[in-house]
A and B are shown apart, each in its own frame.
Chain A
Amino acid sequence: MKTATVPAAALVLAGLWCVAQAGDAPALAAAVAVAAIGATAATAILRRGSRRLRVAVAALSLLLGAGLAAVFAAPAGSAAALAVQLALVIVLAPLAPLLYAVTFAEPPGDDP
């Protein structure tokens, strides 16, 4: 894949991460983290862009984003914040590997 999508996305995310650190901006840092993890997973879409794979990567990214937003929303110093952190693990743990297995495919034109 030689499009400008990969380098442009990588450059923007790298820059935004530095901005988030320089400004000590947790919300921006969380947004960049979700986008970076989504973009890293999405590299597989460049090789085999099936609809199922796109949906799987988007679903994981959305769930991760929602989970991090819920941690931000939970009252600090409460059991609720810890519960949200653990819920993030409990929801994503079976989902991510199963989505990988379901969307796994031989690349097109793969020789045996």
Chain B
Amino acid sequence: MIGWLLLAAATAALALWGWRRSGSPTAFFAASRTAGPVVAGLAGTAAGLSAFVFVGGPSYFAAAGAASLWIILSAPLTGALQCWAVGEPIVELVRRHRCLTVPELLAARFGGGWPQGLAALSIAIGATATLAVQVKGAAVLGSALFDAPGWLVALAALVATVSYTAAGGMRAGLPAEAAQGAIMAVAAVAIAAATLLHAGGPRAAVAVIAARRPELLDPWGGSGGTAAIGLFLLFGLGTCAQPHYLQKFLLLKDRESLRWLPLVTTVALLAILTVWIGVGVGGTALFLDGAFELPSTDELTPQVLSALGRPWLLSLAMVGVIAAIMSTAASLLNIAAAAVTRDLPAAVGRAPSSGVAPARLATVVVGAAAAALALASDRPVVLLGVLGWGTFTAALLPVMVVGLNWGGCSRRGAVAALVIGPAVQLALEAARLAGAVGPPWEPGLTGAAAGVAALVLASAGNRPDPARGAA
């Protein structure tokens, strides 16, 4: 109860602080471009990692073993890769055109209208769907970790996030996300270390798994090597296409901030991901050793925390999970509000509002829509979940990586990629759900590959606009 009161007080203070400082679109959507490498790195990492890391990641290890690690094995590379491929072009476009959103970057590069509108549409739908999955996840975690009705925990986290995000936009969201990233890192390292120690250390834990369930140490798992590499590539390249990651480049105060951004991002990312490996390996070993029953692998983290028998670790885990949910939700709310109130109107020729009142209202509406989607039914949320990471990768990877770096990319090519990429991804997701396509086919990457092909072929023979060119 004290924790919830503290959360309410902190939210109210942050909302008030943000309200006073977010009167302009630059403040609301780009945090007045105040972010240095530490704040942007922590915030970007917190926004990119959801509560799945604390609960779903270890559970995935218990179910799929070392094959699950392919999702996180690209983590050491992603910070540098992002800055090389998209961060530097984005910062250059911001310097020239003062862009505030990812669709505005595409408008600056390819012209307004369709490129901006299609990107805004995919961001609005994808961000709302991903937010709904966050809310649903919070509801599941709420009942598992908090000894309270799940929907109540989810609603409390969402209302708190919507409050300060609607009041202060990213001006309030940026410092909150940076603090949440630091909290997540501390919580993750503490929980991972405690679990591995309880299991007798990493060597002993691996030895137990090798003796009882050696198949969990197979790096390729049941789906095979191609599918495992597909996950590695999806999460490696996909970071260059996630709008809530890319948004952080729009918040940087100067180009020099890029220099140390990958280092901060990588340290924060790996610190948080220790919970995946630590609780995954240590918790699985404890379960195999008979330390606790595991009716479902989804319950690994709660069971581990219970077995550790330290209330302060449980509290730390709860704070880490709430921080993970709120940080991801804040960025998604802001980019969806920007897409609805700024990019979509601009794409149809209307001037965006000079104030932030429509964006504040849109933030509340997007939050309410996500909550309704998440709590109404399981099925739509599960189906809409596919519109997350994979759809952003399929829709935005071709235009962000190839389009921003190749001067020959035409507007027609960008539009083709923005249409064909997600269309192929969604068709493959539907085929996978129907059982018509097997595991080697990774929908997000295949969509991105189709988008790249469409971009290149549709640009062939086109004379690029010399005024625009590559960033």
Contact = CB atoms under 8 A, between A and B. Distances in A.
Nearest to A106: B255
Contacts of B457: 11
B415 to A, nearest CB: 16
B263 A98 contact: yes
A6 B266 contact: no
Interface in B48-83: 66, 69, 72-77, 79-81, 83
Contact of B226 (A21, A79, A86, A96): A21
Interface residues of A, number: 63
Contacts of B92: 107
Given A2-B408, A24-B224, A33 B229 contact: yes
B292 interface: no
A85 interface: yes
A92 B406 contact: no
A37 interface: yes
B206 interface: yes
B463 to A, nearest CB: 10
Interface string A20-49: 111011110110110011001101101100
Contacts of B448: 14
A66 to B, nearest CB: 14
A6 B402 contact: yes
Main secondary structure of the interface of A (DSSP, over half): helix
B313 interface: no
Contact of A76 (B84, B220, B237, B401): B220
Contact of B259 (A6, A81, A104): A104
Contacts of B224: 24, 26
B123 interface: no
Contacts, number: 199
Given A17-B449, A29-B226, A81 B66 contact: yes
Contact of A26 (B84, B229, B266): B229
Contacts of B84: 40-41, 43-44, 57, 100
B453 to A, nearest CB: 5
Contact of A82 (B66, B215, B408, B469): B66
Contacts of A86: 277
Nearest to B456: A7
B452 A97 contact: no
Nearest to A53: B84
B225 interface: yes
Contacts of B218: 76-77, 81
B381 to A, nearest CB: 28
B80 A10 contact: no
B37 to A, nearest CB: 10
A58 interface: no
Interface string A57-95: 100100010001001101011110110111011001111
B233 interface: yes
Nearest to A95: B76
B241 to A, nearest CB: 11
B406 A97 contact: no
Contacts of B206: 79, 82
Interface in B204-258: 206-207, 210, 214-215, 217-220, 224-226, 228-230, 232-233, 236-237, 240, 255, 258
A33 B405 contact: no
B295 to A, nearest CB: 26
A22 B232 CA distance: 18
Contact of B83 (A33, A93, A100): A100
A25 B270 CA distance: 30
Nearest to A40: B85
Given A77-B214, A81-B217, A100 B88 contact: no
B76 A85 contact: no
B446 interface: yes
25 contacts: A1-B406, A2-B406, A2-B469, A6-B402, A18-B449, A22-B440, A26-B220, A26-B226, A29-B229, A29-B233, A33-B232, A37-B74, A37-B237, A47-B88, A68-B229, A71-B219, A72-B225, A81-B66, A81-B217, A82-B206, A85-B69, A92-B76, A95-B76, A100-B263, A101-B259
Interface of B: 66, 69, 72-77, 79-81, 83-85, 88-89, 92, 206-207, 210, 214-215, 217-220, 224-226, 228-230, 232-233, 236-237, 240, 255, 258-260, 262-263, 265-266, 270, 277, 398, 401-402, 405-409, 438, 440-442, 445-446, 448-450, 452-453, 455-457, 459-460, 464, 469-470
